[in-house]
Structures are given as structure tokens and as C-alpha cells.
Amino acid sequence: MKSKLTDILGITLPLIQGPMSWLTDATFVAAVSNAGGLGILGPNAGQHEIVNDPIETAERMRSEIRKVKNLTNNPFAVTLIGGQGDATSDFTLKILDVVIEEKVPIVLINSVGLLNNGSYGIDPALLKVVKANNIKMIVRSWQPSIADAKAVEAQGAAAYVVTGFDEGGTLPEQITGSYSIVPYISDAVSIPVVLAGGVSDVRTVRAAIALGASGVYVGSRLIPTVENPAAQITKELIVNSTAEDLEIFRVAPAFYRSLPTKLRDKLVNNDQQLDKASVWRENGALMNGTSGMRIGMLDGDFDNGYVSVGTGISTIHSIQSVAEVINEMMIDFK
């Protein structure tokens, strides 16, 4: 069974892999694409250390792109971080240059939703370059809404990823569950809508499709796989945990959640003790951008890092290969 999403992206199965910061590399991304989904190189793909130079960051992404090309002939994508309300960063623009030079056919644009100028959608400067090079755009907003989805559709996006509050990583400010948000967003636009958040097995895939999604966006479920670069101890923690083990805490731009770690406990305690401005400042400093994710999930250091996953982890019971996970989730599309 095909879907509008598979036709547009040239993939076999309507599954997009979440490009989790630090937790993707060429081997993992190629495994997703070879299994029929869309693999995506995320921020810091294949890396184990912070790089502060835009050119070096872009060249490291070029190396990872070329590795993916050697491992699959199927479509894959690269992540671009949209403008945070102002101009798109030099890091993103340098990576976009590499995407164009390496002829990557698709990008996943992480946007902020409402820009500083009061409009929704993709930063116009970034949009102009992407469209000029005929690159297909999948857009995932940190703050999904009907207005943002319509703006993205008007800008020519191939698909819109709607993120519900069940996801892992940076949570939306609006506390609306994944299976509540997808119907009204999908009713508002004609481009394919892809559900992110809480998609972890064939039942949740079926629910997403029944509610109007053309496909699913899967992150946490693909971490405890053989090919994912996360630490083995991280994979085992996810397999042995359920949503009941997750705790939520405030940090800019809204919320995060994590499985138990020493750092997680500090972050939750701050949330309980401090006002919003103070907790954003204190927790932001403790998390140090996404370095806390690298330390906790890639390195497996539960004293100094956090393990951010979605509520769908309750149905993960073993570490499998990427192909096994995708085959099980996508059985209706075989």
C-alpha cells in the first residue's frame, strides 16, 4: 500500500527517521533508507565532540553524506536548523552549501514556527536557496499549528511533520497529545502530514494513519537498535523503562523530559524550586545545549547527561536491527 508521502519522497514506506542530535551516523541512516524509510543525518551526525567552526562542521557533514552514499542507493536527507527568529546561522548555511554540492535530494528543516517578524513558516533567506536548487523540503516546526502548517504549504514544502507532546527531545509549548493534534492539522492542509511523538509500534502507526497522517516520524523507537550510535547502556535503559519512568522539566523554549539520571534529578528539582526565568537559565546551563544529550545518550554517562525519549518507549521490549523494527511497524505497507 502506497501513500502520498512515499510518492513525493521516492521512498518505499511512509516512515521518516527522526534526525536526533548526536544520535545519527551514516550506518544508521543508510540502514533506515535501505529498509524503505527515509533516513536523515541529524545535527552532529557521526560526531563525538563539539565543533565550533561552521566550515569544519559542514565538512564533517560532507564526509558523513558521502559515507551514506556508499551504503545506500535510496533517498536520504540532511537536517537544516531554521532561523531562531532571526537570520539562519552560518552553520546551517554552510551545511546547505554542502547539501547542494553533494546533490542531497531532500532536507528536513527544523523551524521555530512563529518568526520574529510575526510570520509563520521557513526563514525566507533559507527558503530561497533551497527552492532555487530544487531540493524537497520536509518541515518540522518546534511549535506546530494550523497557521504554521498553512504557511509551510504555501512555501512549497513536500510534507509537514506535526509534533505532539508525546515526543522526545524539545517539546512543544502547547501541551497537546500527538493523537489529538494530527487530525486537525491534517484537515487544514493538502500536503502530507507526518506524525511525530509516541509512534512506537504497528498499533500507533495504524492510529496515526486512521487520524489523517500520511506517514510517521520515528525517533525514540529507533534508538535501541543495533545500528544506532547510542551507548549500549542507553539502549538497555530505554528497553527496560516505560513512560512511567519519565519526568518532565522546564527549559527553553518550553519543556524537556528524561529517564532517570543524576542530571535529570537536578533539572526536575530546579523546575520545582525556581520561577520560569530562573529555571530556564539554570537548566539551560546544566544541559549546555545538546551536550547533555551527547553525554547521557551517546556516551552513556548518566551522572552528567540526560536521556530524552518519548512516551512511546513503553512498547519497546528488545534491541533489534533497524530493518526488524521498520518491518514490524510498517507491516501494513508491505
Homologous superfamily (CATH) of 4-228+316-333 is: Aldolase class I (3.20.20.70)
Q: Using an 8 Å Cβ cutoff, are 272 and 278 in contact? A: no
Q: How many residues does the chain have?
A: 334
Q: Using an 8 Å Cβ cutoff, are 202 and 331 in contact? A: yes
Q: Is the pLDDT of residue 251 over 80?
A: yes
Provide the pLDDT confidence category of residue 163 given band limits of 50, 70 and 90.
Answer: very high
Q: How high is the pLDDT of residue 116?
A: 65
Q: How high is the pLDDT of residue 148?
A: 93
Q: How high is the pLDDT of residue 89?
A: 85
Q: How high is the pLDDT of residue 204?
A: 97
Provide the pLDDT confidence category of residue 124 given band limits of 50, 70 and 90.
Answer: confident
Q: Among residues 189, 134, 182, which one has the least CA distance to residue 162?
A: 182
Mean pLDDT score, 247-270: 94
Which of 107-121, 205-219, 284-298 is the least confident region? Answer: 107-121
Whole-number Å distance between alpha carbons of 182 and 179: 6
CB-based burial of residue 22 (10 Å sphere; 0-12 exposed, 13-18 middle, 19+ buried)?
buried
Whole-number Å distance between alpha carbons of 137 and 141: 12
Whole-number Å distance between alpha carbons of 306 and 308: 6
Provide the pLDDT confidence category of residue 142 given band limits of 50, 70 and 90.
Answer: confident
What phi, psi does 186 have (nearest 5°)? Answer: -65, -30
The single residue listed with the C-alpha cell 565550533 is: 52
Provide the pLDDT confidence category of residue 288 given band limits of 50, 70 and 90.
Answer: confident
180: β partners: none
The residues, ordered by sequence, that sit 6+ positions from 106 with a Cβ below 8 Å of its Cβ are 9, 38, 75, 76, 77, 78, 135, 136, 137, 138, 158
Q: How high is the pLDDT of residue 1?
A: 60
Three-class DSSP category at 328: helix
Q: Is the pLDDT of residue 118 over 80?
A: no
Q: Using an 8 Å Cβ cutoff, are 5 and 159 in contact? A: yes
Q: Answer with the residue of higher pLDDT: 142 or 309.
A: 309
Mean pLDDT score, 140-148: 91
Q: Is the pLDDT of residue 117 over 80?
A: no
Q: Give 10-64 pLDDT, tens digit per residue.
A: 999 999 999 999 999 999 999 999 999 999 999 999 999 988 899 999 999 999 9
Distances from the Cα of 139 to the Cα of 122, 142, 160, 247, 295, angstroms? 8, 10, 5, 28, 28
Q: So where are the chain's domains?
A: 4-228+316-333, 247-308
Grid coordinates in use for 210?
486512521
Mean pLDDT score, 241-260: 94
Provide the pLDDT confidence category of residue 87 given band limits of 50, 70 and 90.
Answer: low
Q: How high is the pLDDT of residue 253?
A: 86
Q: Is the pLDDT of residue 147 over 60?
A: yes
Mean residue pLDDT across the chain: 94
Q: How high is the pLDDT of residue 282?
A: 94
Q: How high is the pLDDT of residue 332?
A: 95
**What is the DSSP annotation of 19-81?**
--TTS--HHHHHHHHHTTSBEEE-TTTT-SS----HHHHHHHHHHHHHHHHHH-SS-EEEEEE
Other CB atoms within 10 Å distance of the CB of residue 167: 25
